[in-house]
Structure 1
Amino acid sequence: MDIWEKLYLTAKPLYKPAELNEFIYANNVVCALETKSGKIYTGYCIEGLCGTINLCAERVALLNMLQDSGEMEVKRIISFRETPPEGLDGLPCGCCRETLMQFSVNNKDT
């Protein structure tokens, strides 16, 4: 199994779009990332009606990485909805790309 398939299969179980209550929606985008050391972390998006809790899956995975290992460098990252990403579909949004760069300038080629 190649690393991209491994990342996909690790994040796929998190894809469970759910309206948690009338204000919060979650798990409609999921992410898996591989750190420089080879560890894999996942995340899912969470959106709130007023916007104060909105976090993309990529940023949640980054926070999980930081909390668990203290690592800041990401080797690979994918994000997707219900199907595997193709081409540019799996790229993080601008906010997440900026966050990757704030974690480490070495993430510029992630």
Structure 2
Amino acid sequence: MTLNDETRKQLIELARQARRWSYSPYSHYAVGAALLTRSGKIYDGVNIENSAFPVTVCAERVAIFKAVSEGERTFEAIAVVTSNGGSPCGSCRQVLAEFGLDTVVIMADQEGNVTMEMSVRDLLPGAFTPESLQP
């Protein structure tokens, strides 16, 4: 699937809107994500922090887990919106790699300006994938 400009803008806008539901009382760094699946469904997510920091969950993983819990396993693109257009953390990159290295990752700031766009393959070179477990 080729990601067209209209779909790209829609994903960014949905991720921007999702940020309002972020629970980020510690970092004050609200993140929203919008994940497009191959079936055409879109799942959003926000970061959810916890005072026990290791159990905090990023917006990207929330969106991915929502999709997977509803039977989706193949993703086309994910938009991630932060105040400054930051990129997914290492854990999110690894979870994205689990479901396909060709997924497009769009990073944008809170105004919707794209700061970077690349595939998971480019975002996580040398990714550990399910194929890595084959003898």
**Matching residue's letter, 2:80:** S
Name stretches of at least 5 consecutive residues in structure 1 with no aligned partner. none
Query: Per-residue deviation at 1:15?
Result: 1.6
Q: Scaled by the length of structure 1, what TM-score is found?
A: 0.74
Count of aligned residue pairs for this structure pair:
98
- The equivalences for 1:1-110 within 5 A come to 2-16=6-20, 17-18=22-23, 28-68=30-70, 70-82=71-83, 85=85, 89=86, 91-102=87-98, 104=99, 107-110=100-103
Query: Per-residue deviation at 1:4?
Result: 0.9
Task: Tell me the alpha carbon deviations over residues 42-88 of structure 1, each in whole angstroms, 9 at most, x when there is no partner.
Answer: 000011121243111000001111122x11111101111247x5xxx
SS of 1:2's partner is helix
Q: Are 1:18 and 1:25, in contact at CA under 8 Å, matched by a contact in 2?
A: no
User: What is the RMSD of the two structures over their aligned residues, measured on CA atoms?
Assistant: 2.4
**Matching residue's letter, 1:72:** R
Report sequence identity in percent: 32
Name stretches of at least 5 consecutive residues in structure 2 with no aligned partner. 104-135
Task: Tell me the alpha carbon deviations over residues 84-105 of structure 1, each in whole angstroms, 9 at most, x when there is no partner.
Answer: x5xxx4x422211111222x2x
> Which structure is larger by alpha-carbon Rg, 1 or 2?
2
